[in-house]
Chains A and B, each alone.
Chain A
Amino acid sequence: MESSPAVAITGVQKQYGDTTALRGIDLTIRRREFFGLLGPNGAGKSTLINIIAGLVRASAGEVAVLGHDTVRDFRRARQSLGVVPQELVFDPFFNIIDMLRLQAGYYGAGKAAWPWIDQLIERLELGPKRFAAMRTLSGGQKRRVLIAQALVHKPPVVILDEPTAGVDVDLRRTLWEFTRELHAQGHTIVLTTHYLEEAEDLCERVAIIDKGAVKIVEGTRQLLDRHPFRFLRVKLSGAALPDALRRLVVSEKDGEVELKLERANHPIGEVLDTLRAHGARVDDVHTREPKLEDIFMEMTRSVSSRA
C-alpha cells in the first residue's frame, strides 16, 4: 500500500437519469502532491470529489485512496481522507469544540485527539470562539471550522473544494499559508478553485476537467512552458491595426490591444515591424507569458466548440 497513489480514479462514470455528469475519468494523484482539479462550473469536479468522499456512488469505475477502495474498504479509505466541502454546512446544535470532538470520535479517535483539536483551533484562529454555537459564527469562521473538521483525524489526503469561495483577502491568505504548511508536513492536497492564479501558485500538477471528461493532466510549470503562445499588448496611434494582425486580437481596451502570438510563427520584432510598415506608431508595448487562466480558457473553449 506504501506504493499506492494518494488517489487512484479508474474509469469513473456518473449518470443522473439522462444526464451524464462524468464520462469515464482516469486520474492518478500522487502521494504528497499539491494537485489542482480545475474546470468550469458544472464540469463534474464536485461530483468527482463526492465520489472520492463516498457521498455519491459512481455508476461505473473505481476509486482508491492510498490503495483502499472507497466502496469495498470504505473505512480505511475514509480514514485516509479529509474533505472540506464547498458549501458552508454546519450543525446548529453544537459549539465548535463539541463538534470537533464528536467528529474526531467518528474517526475512532477519542480523547487522544483533544490536544490536536486544541492546536487546530489555535492555528485556525478560532480560540476565542471555541465555545461559540456554530450558528453564531461568521462565514469565514464557519469555513475555518470546516477545515478543522476535515483535519481532526490527521488524514494523509486532504481535498479542499473551493475553500476560498466568498472568503475575504486576509482569510484567503491565512488559508493558503495553512495549506502550504500541511503540504510541507507531507499531506497530499487536492484543490479545486475558481481563482486560477491560486492554482498556478500552489499546485504542482493540475487536471482540467470539462463536461465530465479530463481534458489534460500535467505539471503546472510544464503546461505553462509548453504552451506555444505569449501575449503582446500595444498602444497604437497614427493608424489602425492592420488586417493581418486583427485575427490575433484577444482583447481591446482604452486604445490598447492585446495580441496572442504563436512563439514559432510570430516573433515580436516581426509584429512590431508589420505595425510600423502600416503606418502605426507604437506608443507603448508590454509582453506577458501565458497564465493558467489563458490555457484553461483555451482548453474549455475548444471542448465547448467541439461539443
Chain B
Amino acid sequence: MDMNAEGLRAFTLKEVKRFWSVLGQTVTAPVMTALLYLLVFGQVMEGRVEVYPGVSYMQFLIPGLIMMSVIQNSFANASSSLTQSKIMGNLVFVLMAPLAAWELFAGYLAASLLRAGLVSLALYCATWPFVHLPIHSFLQLVGMFLLAGGSLAVVGIIAGIVASKFDHLASFQNFLILPASFLSGVFYSIHSLPDFWSNLSRFNPFFYMIDGFRHAFLGVGDAPVWLCFASTGGLFVVLSATCLRMLATGYKLRP
C-alpha cells in the first residue's frame, strides 16, 4: 500500500493542534464534568452499595467514568472537527491534498484517541490521591481503550460526514451517545437492574466497553471479558469498514 507518511503526520498534527488550541474546552472541561459526577455520586453512594465483593463504590465508579469520557470525547473530537471544517469550507485543503481515504481516517482516529487518552490520564491522576485503583491487566486496559475510543472516533467521523449542520451533530450527541453512555452501567452494575432493563442493557455496545474496561482495573465485571472484546472489536471493524468506504467513495464530501 502506498503511503504519504509526511502527509499523514501533518494531518494528524493539524488535528491535534486543533483540539490543543482549545484545551480548556476539549480536555479540562470533560475532566471537570467527570470529577463532578464522581464527587456527587461517590458521596451519595459510597458505603451504601458494594457492587463486587471487596470493591468500593468509588473503585467501581472511576473506570466507568473514565470510559464514559473516552466514549464522549473520542466522538466529539472527530465529529466536531470534520463538521466544523465542512461548514467553514476549509475541508477543501485536506480534500485537495494527496491524502488517501485511510490516511484521513487514521489522522482523525489518532487525534481523537490522543484527546480521549489525555482526558483519561487526567482523570486517573486526579482521583489517584483519594482512591486506590488497582490495575488488573494493563494490556486489557490499553486494548479496550483503543477499541472503544477508536469505535467512537469512527462514529464521530461518520457523523461528521453525514451532518450538514451542527444541529445534526447535537442530535447525534444528545439522543444517541449521551443516553447510551449513561445507560450502560457506568453508575451501577446491570445485575442490580430488573430483568427487562438488565437484558436490554446487553444490547448496548457501550455496556461492553465500560464493563471490559472496568474488568481491566478490578479483575471482575458483569460480562465475560472475551464478550466485551468481541463486541467492541467487532463494532470497531464494522464501523471502520463503513467509514473507510464512505471516505473512499467521497460520500457527501466529494459530491
Complex contact B88–A90 (CB within 8 A)? yes
Instruction: Report the bound CA distance from A56 to B9 in whole Å.
Output: 25
Q: What size tier do the contact residues of chain B reach?
A: 20 to 34
* Known contacts A57-B250, A93-B21; A108 and B89 CB within 8 A of each other: no
Give, as a whole number of angstroms, the nearest-CB distance from A238 to chain B.
Answer: 60
Is B92 in contact with A85, judged by CB distance below 8 angstroms? yes
Bound CA–CA A280/B32 (angstroms): 89
Is residue A110 within 8 Å, beta carbon to beta carbon, of the partner chain? yes
CA distance A238 to B33 in the complex (A): 89
**B residues 76-107 with Cβ under 8 Å of A?**
85, 88-90, 92-100
Q: Contacts A89-B92, A103-B93; is A78 near B98 (CB within 8 Å)?
A: yes
Which residue of B is nearest A134, CB measured? B90
Closest Cβ of chain B to A171, distance in Å, is 21
A106 to B98, CA, bound (A): 7
Q: How far is the CA of A107 from the CA of B100 in the complex (A)?
A: 12
Q: Which of B85-135 contact A (CB under 8 A)?
A: 85, 88-90, 92-100
Q: How many angstroms between the C-alpha atoms of A118 and B99 in the bound complex?
A: 24
CB B15 to nearest CB in A, in angstroms, measures 10
Q: A92 at the A/B interface (Cβ < 8 Å)?
A: yes
Q: Assess whether A57 is in contact with B255, with CB atoms less than 8 Å apart.
A: yes
Residues of B within 8 A of A102 (CB): 10-11, 13-14, 17
Q: Which residues of A contact B7 (CB under 8 A)?
A: 105-108
CB neighbors of A among B1-30 (8 A): 2, 4-7, 9-11, 13-14, 17-18, 21-22
Closest-CB distance, B93 to chain A (whole angstroms):
6
CA distance A55 to B252 in the complex (A): 11
Q: B-facing mask of A33-72, CB < 8 A → 1, else 0?
A: 0000000000000000000011111000000000000000
Cβ of A55 and Cβ of B96 under 8 Å apart? yes
**B6 CB contacts on chain A under 8 angstroms:** 105, 108-110
User: Does B254 touch A at the CB level, under 8 Å?
Assistant: yes
Query: Closest CB of chain B to A154's CB: distance in Å?
Result: 14
Q: B2 contacts which chain A residues (CB < 8 A)?
A: 75
Q: A98-B17, A108-B7, A110-B6 are in contact. Are A78 and B97 (CB under 8 A)?
A: yes
A55 and B5 CA atoms in complex are apart in Å by 22
Inside 8 A of A56's CB, which chain B residues have their CB? 254-255
Contact yes or no, A78 B96, CB < 8 A = yes
Known: A55-B254, A57-B255, A92-B88. A105 touches B9 (CB 8 A): yes
Residues of chain B with a CB closer than 8 A to A54's CB: 95-96, 254
In the complex, A87 Cα to B254 Cα: how many Å? Answer: 17
Given contacts A91-B88, A106-B93, contact A79 B254 (CB under 8 A): no
- The reply to whether A91 and B4 form a contact with Cβ atoms under 8 Å apart is no
Please tell me if the beta carbons of A94 and B254 are within 8 angstroms of each other in the complex.
Answer: no
Q: Are the C-beta atoms of A89 and B17 separated by less than 8 Å?
A: no
Contact partner of B17 (CB less than 8 A), chosen from A53, A57, A79, A93, is: A93
Q: For chain A residues 95-126, which have a beta carbon within 8 Å of chain B? A: 98, 101-110
Q: Considering the chains assembled together, what is the distance between the CA atoms of A85 and B97 in angstroms?
A: 13
Within 8 Å CB of B96, what residues of A? 53-55, 78, 81, 83
Partner of B97, one of A76, A92, A106, A110: A106
A90 near B92 with CB under 8 A, answer no
CB distance from A181 to the nearest CB of B (A): 23
| Given A75-B2, A87-B89, A89-B88: A106 touches B99 (CB 8 Å cut-off) | yes
Question: Please, which residues of chain A bring their CB within 8 A of the CB of B89?
Answer: 85, 87, 89
Chain B positions within 8 Å of A103 at CB level: 10, 93, 97
Closest to A109 in B: B6
Complex interface: chain A residues within 8 A of B92 (CB) = 53, 55, 85, 89
When distances are taken between beta carbons in the complex, the residues of chain A under 8 Å from B21 are 93-94
| Given pairs A93-B18, A108-B7, A110-B6, 18 additional interface contacts (CB within 8 A) | A55-B254, A56-B254, A57-B250, A74-B98, A75-B2, A75-B4, A75-B98, A85-B92, A91-B90, A91-B93, A92-B88, A94-B14, A94-B21, A105-B13, A106-B10, A106-B94, A108-B5, A149-B93
Residues of B within 8 A of A (CB): 2, 4-7, 9-11, 13-14, 17-18, 21-22, 85, 88-90, 92-100, 250, 254-255
Listed by A's residue number, 9 A-B pairs whose Cβ atoms lie within 8 Å are A16-B255, A54-B95, A75-B98, A78-B97, A93-B17, A94-B17, A102-B14, A105-B11, A107-B97
Q: Which 7 A-B pairs have the closest CB atoms?
A: A105-B10, A106-B97, A89-B89, A75-B98, A78-B98, A91-B90, A108-B6
Q: Which A residues lie at the B interface, using CB under 8 A?
A: 16, 53-57, 74-76, 78-79, 81, 83, 85, 87, 89-94, 98, 101-110, 149
